[in-house]
Chain A
């Protein structure tokens, strides 16, 4: 079974997308595992890192994936040449995009399709959205193709995040060491708890841990981190690695960045080492329990 890792927290700006990017590139580049990344966030930032995204003419501010490289207008008469994870909510075919990174493929976001899925009303939610991603990822085609699947979620506790959690085998909660962020952890733990109740014993959902992110050398961050680590049972889930606030983590995301990935920096680079040890910790838990 492919391992399915979700980076989730419903508070924005905690580093879900950055963390998904780093983890995906670590798995593909360093571990060399066949990896699929899925962008469930209608903002589509994650998708834009790997393929060109276009503004949606029908939905101001929304984005759609560019034409698929395999698309041939002369041959493909029933396909419009674009494919996104949003398709699964409409019973449409899904074709992953290759990326410039070896072993890494992407199912990009489609803003309006995902927004519509996020906005379904209560009675429709269950059948249409909650289980759709899980069903899709359980398809033999998907399972046989990939070893690791990484899902980036929107900053909400809505149907898309729930769908991702229902599909997941592992959850990572990136969080700043600040008041609102830790309240965000609480909200995410509720989802995890609820989901873990409903899993059968042979298909559990494991909380890999809370990844302290954007940590600065200030008293607030230090004391919140040590407070969290000292709590009963919670302490076991605070990862022993933290990610500091560094300019390089955002600089590497700009379009003409060189190198493109943190894992293409020299091995001795502090930032690379920092993320590499966090990712290695996460993947150790994911692959070896």
Chain B
């Protein structure tokens, strides 16, 4: 009999259809990405800006009588590289704006907007929020936008974070140091180990903060490690090593050595591996004299003199014979000490 014909919608098409519908379900209204005219974008007056130069000046040119002419020119030049890449590749991530009357106000993406103008574009991809988000939400969005930027120093990132965490703590009626690791990791969307590091640095003392500010400590992990060292002596050592360019591993060693010194006198519990022992192991020796000393000492015990006859014919030149003797000795002793 001929094989029955079965018609299937192909796998690729099926999964494509399913993915499309569930994506539309999960993100409808959330990812309002559209292309908007750059001329309709304005900066948020309530938000501190990094740039002096503004959108108008990029279109019309910077006035030479402007007291900030040289700084603005510098800023423009600093945007050229980004502008070049935007010209080639477009912007990779849309900027974030919210609707303000007829205009769009920037939440994140000032550099991309300015650079797009230099690149000669009239419009730009933007993620559009319908209403102005709370200041906490704005800070968090800016944080997420900036966290991947390589040109931000640790100090700049911490300053942003401090702002976010303070606003958050305020809204909860607590203080910065009471914000938990879980809250922190939820707030900025990072892993817990990362949040632990941030928290440690946020509540660290002025000395470490100063070093970060001076850009002498650039790594979050190192800063967190240093912040966690309680002993001032050890910390000083670690800081010195860090400033001399020690790797994180080295710093960890210094911190741990300090730890051991603090705990001198205590017996460190030995790390256990494998199955637990259920019997006493006597160990071994190559030294026949040691074996002989043990056997003789045991047999000379006055309660054991009666068994010494069993152990008369030991060949003290043969490891096998001595080992067998030990086995028999233990066996005999066990017989005498049955509980």
Interface status of A59 (Cβ within 8 A of chain B): no
Is B35 in contact with chain A by the CB < 8 A criterion? yes
Q: How many residues of B contact A (CB 8 A)?
A: 29
**Do A197 and B33 touch across chains, with their CB atoms under 8 A apart?**
yes
Instruction: Tell me if A219 and B28 are in contact (CB < 8 A).
Output: no
Residues of B within 8 A of A236 (CB): 21
Q: Are A190 and B13 in contact (CB under 8 A)?
A: no
Task: Specify which chain B residues have a CB less than 8 angstroms from the CB of A234 in the assembled complex.
Answer: 14, 17-18, 21
Chain A residues closer than 8 Å to B123, beta-carbon distance? 126
B77 interface contact, C-beta 8 A: no
Say whether A186 faces chain B, with CB atoms less than 8 Å apart. yes
Q: Which residue of B lies closest to A196 (CB)?
A: B28
Q: Check A186–B17 contact: CB distance below 8 A.
A: yes
Residue of B nearest to A228 (CB): B9
Q: How far is the CA of A123 from the CA of B130 in the complex (A)?
A: 25
8 Å CB contacts to B: which residues of A167-201? 179, 182-183, 185-186, 189-190, 192-193, 196-201
* A232 adjacent to chain B (CB < 8 Å): yes
Question: Total interface residues on A, using CB and 8 Å?
Answer: 31
Closest residue of B by beta carbon distance from A232: B18
Is B8 engaged at the interface, CB distance under 8 Å to the other chain?
yes
Identify A232's interface contact among B22, B33, B34, B122, CB under 8 A. Answer: B22
A219, B9: Cα distance in complex, Å: 13
Interface residues of B in 13-47 (CB under 8 A from A): 13-14, 16-18, 20-25, 27-35
Tell me which residues from 130 to 189 in chain A have a Cβ below 8 Å from any Cβ of chain B.
Answer: 179, 182-183, 185-186, 189
30 A-B pairs (CB sep. < 8 Å): A182-B9, A185-B17, A186-B13, A186-B16, A186-B17, A189-B17, A189-B24, A190-B20, A193-B21, A193-B23, A193-B24, A196-B27, A196-B29, A197-B27, A197-B28, A197-B30, A197-B31, A198-B31, A198-B34, A198-B128, A200-B29, A200-B130, A204-B28, A223-B8, A224-B9, A227-B7, A227-B8, A231-B14, A231-B17, A233-B25
When A and B form their complex, which 5 residue pairs have the shortest distance between CB atoms, in order from nearest? A196-B28, A193-B24, A197-B31, A233-B21, A223-B7
- Which residues of A are interface residues toward B (Cβ below 8 A)? 123, 126, 179, 182-183, 185-186, 189-190, 192-193, 196-201, 204, 207, 219-220, 223-224, 227-228, 231-234, 236-237
